[in-house]
Amino acid sequence: MIKVGIIGGTGYTGVELLRLLAQHPQAQLTVITSRGEAGKPVADMFPNLRGRVELKFTEPDDRALSACDVVFSATPNGVAMQHARTLLDAGVKLIDLAADFRLKDSAVWEKWYGMPHACTDLLAEAVYGLPELQREKIKPARLIANPGCYPTAVQLGFLPLVEKGLVDAAFLVADCKSGVSGAGRKAEVHTLFSEASDNFKAYGVPGHRHWPEIKQGLEAMAGKAVGLTFVPHLTPMIRGIHATLYARLTDKGVDVQKLYETRYAGEAFVDVLPPKSHPDTRSVRAANTCRMAVHRPQGGDTVVILSVIDNLVKGAAGQAVQNMNLMFGLPETTGLDQLPVLP
């Protein structure tokens, strides 16, 4: 059994980690920390865990965490980088679900996250945990930067075209729609039910932190600079991201459907739908799957990719467990085989 610790388990990625890990046959939940809720049984906060998770929240404590085999950090940005050095030195693997290790360039990171980086020396070692892109680097890694939710949906959607250089990299558009749980479990006015329900809006058009993350990933795939326009929107549902991606083909002869089917043929968690399909976000609700469909409307040179994930699973906790499985030599799907919940 893998001894697992969680730093900051009171948010939505925290409870989702708990749901997945409590059902994982090789994981043993050992420590879960919360500065604000120390002493409280986890199941008092999240009643879906009653009778199944007996742990109590404890104060953050690097000694207790150091006894784990792996620690997931499900905290706000800026926390994991405080613990990373100590945990790695103690031989603990660390998977950060926040953004501390996602950007390779610390200057870019500091610009977008508005704080100094506490351990820039680890940025080079950290592996960006998108298994479909760099599975072999994840397996031996000690430190994983678990990708953001939008970046997962967008990068998986663009990957086959961009890595082959088949589209005009200067004008890529990612129009993304997220359920409200992506904003986290913080008391804020704009995500109140009465504000976010029966409403739809864009946000962060002038600049969103996932833009440099996606851009870095696409540029690595393309091997050159890309021009990316990224517009996130808030949609009145709890879970789910729908990325609608637009690009212009440079080679109009390519069979895009076949390209995608081939690229993802061996992937357990990517499902390319048949031609003319439109994936629902609910078709992946509560599961670690990315479903996608590819289109060329009116047979033109614009390709449209539709890519959906559950932002809390493939966009956060599920992908983190997938990374854990890889790091510990388990079959990649271990503990991640629950069927999506529909309706």
Contacting a second copy within 209-248 (CB under 8 A):
211, 227, 229-231, 233, 235-240, 242, 244, 246, 248
* Selected binder of a second copy within 7, 74, 284, 316 (CB under 8 A): 284
DSSP string, 211-275: HHHHHHHHHHHHTS---EEEEEEE-SSSS-EEEEEEEEBSSTT--HHHHHHHHTTT-TTEEEPPT
Site string for a second copy, 13-52 (x = CB under 8 A): --x---x--xx----------------------xxxxxxx
Q: Which residue has the tokens 């085989």?
A: 337
Instruction: Look at residues 333, 240, 254 and name the one whose alpha carbon lies nearest to residue 291.
Output: 240
Q: How far is the CB of 199 from a second copy (least distance, A)?
A: 4
The distance in angstroms from the start CA to the end CA of the chain is 34
CB 162 within 8 A of CB 226: yes
Q: Closest distance between a second copy and the C-beta of residue 330, in Å?
A: 19
Q: Which of 170, 166, 172, 168 is nearest to 253 (CA)?
A: 166
How many angstroms separate the CA atoms of 286 and 120, rounded? Answer: 34
**Pick 209 or 239: Cβ nearer a second copy:** 239
Binding of a second copy at residue 331 (CB under 8 A)?
no
Q: Which of 25, 266, 297, 329 binds a second copy (CB under 8 A)?
A: 297
Footprint of a second copy on residues 162-191 (CB under 8 A)?
A: 171, 173, 175, 177, 179-181, 183, 185-189, 191
**Span interacting with a second copy, options 85-93, 105-113, 121-129, 206-214, rule CB under 8 A:** 206-214
- Cβ-based nearer residue to a second copy, 91 or 236: 236
Please count the residues of this chain forming the interface with a second copy, following the rule CB under 8 A.
Answer: 87
